[in-house]
Amino acid sequence: MIEKYLWITGSAIFLWLGTTHLLYTFFTCKFNARNKEVITAMKNTSPVLTRDTTMWKAWIGFNGSHSSGSIFFGLINILLVSRYFPVIQDSPLLHLLNIATVIFYLWLGKKYWFRVPFTGILIAACCFVAATLITFLR
């Protein structure tokens, strides 16, 4: 039963991080550049890929989609483990996919982000790995 709670805890961390990120993206200035000239340049520059958007719009969109992905990952895992835990227990593939996703986020956090999300993801990764080990070593 501890593996169920570890899985929920790891998922809840992703849900919390994603929700916080979404709120910060759309309702605060926390992700704005400190240098106002950078913001102005982003609002007036298009990526090489297309002139249909600006770097600023892409920045906001990427942050929004990143947030929704983390929210979805956390919510779907909480729903699955809460309602269909035996399916999770019997599916090495679901364990592998979750751990691979968390490890990818962990790598992104270490390479590109800052301490708070990296630490949260590290704790979530430990929860998922521990849940998997307990599940398959029993």
The pTM of the full predicted model, rounded to 2 decimals, is 0.91
pLDDT of residue 111: 95
pLDDT of residue 138: 78
pLDDT of residue 12: 98
Tens digit of each residue's pLDDT (9 = 90 or more) over 25-54: 999 999 999 999 999 999 999 999 999 999
**Gap between the Cα atoms of 133 and 88, Å rounded:** 13
DSSP assignment of 17-79 equals HHHHHHHHHHH-STTS-SSHHHHHHHHT---TT-SSS-HHHHHHHHHHHHHHHHHHHHHHHHH
- The whole domain housing 128 covers 2-137
Question: Closest Cα to residue 68, out of 26, 35, 106?
Answer: 26
**Gap between the Cα atoms of 92 and 21, Å rounded:** 30
Tens digit of each residue's pLDDT (9 = 90 or more) over 63-111: 999 999 999 999 999 999 999 999 989 999 999 999 999 999 999 999 9
Task: Please state the domain count of the chain.
Answer: 1
